[in-house]
């Protein structure tokens, strides 16, 4: 993406969506144990860690500043 604002916004939105789904699924698993393999939770963790890692990488690549913050 060439628009820093849209990329930051989407990364933040995806992070919180996937994190909330992960937390709800984890709580549901602890309350009522199912036969879901542990790989499921590992895969879901990548869902919320990927946007976070990409945000951190681009934060450091941009020198800690995004162009949309200065406008």
In a domain, 71, yes or no: no
Query: For residue 19, which phi and psi values (nearest 5 degrees)?
Result: -65, -45
Whether the predicted pLDDT of 1 surpasses 70: no
Domain hosting 59: range is: 4-66
Whether the predicted pLDDT of 23 surpasses 90: yes
In a domain, 22, yes or no: yes
pTM: 0.75
Question: pLDDT tier at 2 (50, 70, 90 boundaries)?
Answer: low
For residues 33-40, average pLDDT: 86
* Residue 32 DSSP code: S
Burial class (CB in 10 A: 0-12, 13-18, 19+), 52: middle
Nearest one of 17, 28, 58 to 68, comparing CA atoms: 58
Tokens 């590992």 correspond to: 42
> Each residue of 44-55: pLDDT tens digit?
899 889 988 988
- Give the Cβ contact number of residue 11 at 10 Å: 20
> Each residue of 56-68: pLDDT tens digit?
888 888 787 777 7
């Amino acid at each position: 993406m060439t628009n820093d604002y849209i990329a930051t916004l989407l990364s933040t939105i995806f992070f919180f969506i996937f994190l909330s789904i992960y937390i709800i699924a984890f709580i549901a698993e602890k309350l009522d144990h199912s036969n879901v393999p542990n790989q499921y939770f590992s895969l879901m963790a990548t869902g919320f860690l990927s946007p976070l890692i990409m945000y951190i990488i681009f934060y450091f690549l941009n020198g800690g500043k995004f162009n949309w913050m200065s406008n």
